[in-house]
Amino acid sequence: MKDQLDRVIDAARKGRMSRREFLGRTTAMGVSAGLAVALYGKVARADEAKKGGVIRAGIYGGESTNSLDPALAASPVPVITCSTWGEMLCDVTSDGGLNMRLAEEATSSPDAKVWTFKVRQGVEFHNGKTVTAEDIVATLKRHTDEKSQSGALGIVQGISDMKAEGDKVVLTLASANSDLPYLLADYHLAIQPGGGMDDPTAGIGAGPYKVESFEPGVRTVFTKHANYFDDTVGHADQVEILVINDNTARTAALQSGQVHMINRVDPKISELLKGTPSVTVKQTPGRGHFVFVMHCDTPPFDNNDMRMALKLAIKRGELVEKVLGGLGSAGNDFPINAAYPLFDETIPQREYDAAKAKEYYDKTGHDGSPIILRAAPGAFPGAVDAANLFAASAQAAGIPLQVKLEPDDGYWTNVWNVEPFCASYWGGRAVQDQMYTTAYLSTADWNDTKFKNKEFDELLIAARGELDEAKKKADYSRMANILRDEGGLILPMFNDFVEGVRDEIGGWYDDPNGELMNGRALSRCWLG
Amino acid sequence: MHPILKLVIQRLALGLLLLLAISAVIFLGVEALPGDTAQAILGQSATPQALANLREQMGLNDPALTRYFHWLGGVVTGDLGKSLTNGTDIATAIGQRLGNTLFLAGCAAVIAVPLALTLGLIAARYAGKWPDKLISAVTLTTISLPEFVAAYFVIYLLTQVFPIFQPVAMVFPGMGFWAKLNAVALPVIVLVMVVLAHMMRMTRAAILNVMQSAYIETAELKGVPPMQVIWRHAFPNAIAPIVQVVVLNLAYLVVGVVVVEVVFGYNALGQYLVDHVTKRDLPVVQAVGLVFAAVYIGLNIFADVVAIIANPRLRHPK
């Protein structure tokens, strides 16, 4: 029992075990509840954040083509960079609530068409200018301009009118949206002085850290923003992002202490890394998912029987085990999982069923010519392996599925959204509405399954303006079922965020919104 | 005018002409790619109107020849334009990255070249005996390892087993010389391993070739010690082929080490080029292509001149 207790204490010391779990485990071993609480207080990291020091993160996913313009942020390094110097109107918390930042308060008209944001007073940008309602409106306006090429265009283009009224920002929407504050928490929408119209790449915002030096694809150094409005954020004096795209070098840098945290730990080595002293592997269920997309308007995928046959011919559990190394969960052919608010847990999990798949396949009357699935190594990590496993299980069900290997170069321009059946991936979105609107609405630019369903579209619009949560949940459940049974999406798995953190880092919490605590690990953690 | 000076000037002029031809080839190659710069900038979101506006603004509607000379004019005056993807000045970025590339290549060369020559001399002196076999076996093993395998091996050995160096080799402006040397230690070790065998084998072969000559036999017969025979009589006559191989390897160290750069996160020119090729940032690709071509031509001119100087028959033409 002594050994067992030691292990539990060690786990708590390294932050691998929550307080509740610690108390449960120790009292189960016969430790009195009072003693357990005292013990936890002693071994676990002090909740008191420590100030000072330099925190370094080694991040996969940066290129020398990156810029500091938040509108253009797309890969992990720019996204995390943006979340470090930028401040949004609000953040989405790890449990799906709202954390008000530059806006103190968000209220909507009863029809969810007019939203009023009260601007937090006395907040300063890095250049000393005070954050005003005008800055916020200008920022949102810049993202509506197509010239800004903003990744948030889809979010802001639904805002038909933006007004600054004293310390309030009033946004009028073309159609009702009860989720607007969640959407405005998007990392692209970091508020910039004057909206960043003069120089969008200045990297000046109101976030906890200001950019000291920026070398694209190499390193960004930040120093503490002295006049930041919130004392509970921004503990280190300096934080650094080092771009380390190579898996081995990134892991080695973590082990040798050159960096304190890394993202994208290779599933193949996560078990090995867990055995390393002074390093903890954090596994956070997220919303990102790996998919195979079929165009619903192109033969043979225009026949729903064919789509069903393929959906039933994939071994989801096997893919999670072999491709994700168990670091993920099985998907159910719609892009929503339990990490989203208003998720319907009762929708039955689709499983591999060779007989049923064959039955559907025979119904299509397909001539037996090979069905081509295109995949490239970069479609998602392990995409080619996943496609081959899929082809094997489909062939076992009598479906002539064949994998065609494509080069990474040009995959997203020449194959994805062009060829009728290919491998792809999606990161998660803040709310269900945003995910569905981005890729499953008939008119969406990124409708990569060419899924056009009138009932689905109507439900999506209705749910968007719905303020009654129960009704909204019912709408989403219905939509999930439509997509699951009629859509062109084969979603075998959701991937976890797997990250490595050194033991001297305190203040870590799991956040399903994005990797490395939704990009906030550098500003919310401290050096212990 | 001294014939050597004349020769150098001739070669330089020829090199410039060659560079001009290459600039045309690069420009044509980029022209031949599907899509144009405006399309590359606007990407998937391109509307016909926006494309037309941008083409007008960037002068893409001008004939190719006009644009070529416009670009060439910029190159000559040091203006390489701005990167399409992040709007930074290309000349500044290349300047910094080229500095890093040359630093890494220089460090590797300073170790690899003397080491390869020495090992080559030793191998030639003991040709067929165990030192020769040992040197050949070791260097051929290191060259046979793919660079990334060698890199991972070195990372494992020197950062995990013996934590002497850092796995990530980035260098930054403002770092001291010794800090920089410490940072690039691992990539330098890998590069030395990769280029050593080629130069060593060439030195050995060239010297052994010369050793068949009658004058070497004479030297041996009059009792000159073997190492001195090699150093005084064989080596100077074997310089030309050795220099050619050394220069080829130096050129490789400058233009061909992108794999090593990626593994160690070293911020040099190769990584910069690959990133911009992926994003179809054509002005950068053109500029870096030209820089690489210039380095290659420059080093080859150097090799030619050294080979001529080393050869008395070419040095004193009748």
B76 has pLDDT over 80: yes
Q: Using the 8-state DSSP alphabet, how is residue A52 labeled?
A: -
| Closest Cβ opposite residue B170 in set A146, A219, A252 | A219
Q: Would you call B33 an interface residue with chain A, using a CB distance cutoff of 8 Å?
A: no
B108-147 burial, b at 16+ Cβ within 10 Å, e below that, comes to bbebbbebbbebbbbbbbeeeeeebeebbeebeeebeeeb
Contact A256 B43 (CB under 8 A): no
User: What is the per-residue pLDDT for B88?
Assistant: 86
pLDDT over 90, % of chain A: 69
The per-type count for chain A, helices as H runs and strands as E runs, is 18, 19
- Which among B191, B202, B120 is positioned nearest to B150, based on CA atoms? B191
**A153, closest residue in chain B (CA to CA):** B45
Please report the pLDDT score of residue A4 as a whole number.
67
pLDDT tens digits along A291-326: 999 999 998 999 999 999 999 999 999 999 999 888
Domains, chain B, ranges and CATH? 90-315 (1.10.3720.10)
User: Average pLDDT in the A476-503 region?
Assistant: 95
Touching check for A70 and chain B: CB below 8 Å? no
Residues A34-73 have pLDDT tens digits of 666 666 655 554 457 899 999 999 999 888 889 999 998 8
pLDDT digit string (tens) for B1-13? 677 788 889 989 9
Q: What is the pLDDT of residues B251-305, one digit of tens each?
A: 999 988 889 998 998 999 998 998 888 777 888 999 999 999 999 999 999 988 8
With an 8 Å Cβ cutoff, is B39 touching chain A? no
Domain residue spans of chain A:
2-43, 89-196, 209-284+497-527, 289-495
Most confident among A178-182, B36-40, B233-237 (mean pLDDT): A178-182
Tokens for B274, please give them: 């690959």
* Cβ pair A245:B85 closer than 8 A: no
- Specify the pLDDT at position A109: 93
What pLDDT score was predicted for residue A13? 60
What is the C-alpha separation between B307 and B316, in angstroms, rounded?
13
Q: Which residues contact A410 (CB under 8 A, 6 or more apart)?
A: none
B296 touches A at CB < 8 Å? no
pLDDT (mean) for B105-119: 95
User: Is residue A445 over pLDDT 80?
Assistant: no
Q: How far apart are CA A215 and CA B171, in angstroms?
A: 11
Q: Which residues sit opposite A525 in a β-bridge?
A: none
Average confidence score pLDDT of chain B:
87
> B-chain residues within 8 Å CB-CB of A253?
166-168
CATH of domain A209-284+497-527: 3.40.190.10
**Chain B environment of A258 (Cβ under 8 Å):** 166-168
CA B138 distance to own-chain centroid = 24
pLDDT single digits (tens) A124-173: 999 999 999 999 999 999 999 877 888 888 889 889 999 999 999 999 99
Q: Cα dihedral sign for A327, A332, A337, A338?
A: negative
In tens, the pLDDT along B201-210 reads 999 999 999 9
Res B115: pLDDT: 95
Q: Do A67 and B42 touch (CB under 8 A)?
A: no
Confidence of residue B42 (pLDDT cuts 50, 70, 90): low
Among A500, A526, A520, CA closest to A58: A500
Q: What is the pTM of this model?
A: 0.84
Query: In the CATH scheme, what is the homologous superfamily, with its name and number, of domain A89-196?
Result: Dipeptide-binding Protein; Domain 1 (3.90.76.10)
Q: Nearest by CB to A253, which of B93, B168, B276?
A: B168
Asked if B264 and A249 come within 8 Å (Cβ–Cβ), the reply is: yes
Inform me whether the pLDDT recorded for B183 exceeds 90: yes
Identify all chain B residues contacting A72, using CB atoms and an 8 Å cutoff. 86
Q: Which whole-number Å values give the CA distances from A450 to A288, A305, A453, B257, in the listed order?
A: 20, 16, 10, 43
Q: What is the pLDDT of residue B281?
A: 81
Does domain A289-495 sit in CATH 3.90.190.10?
A: no
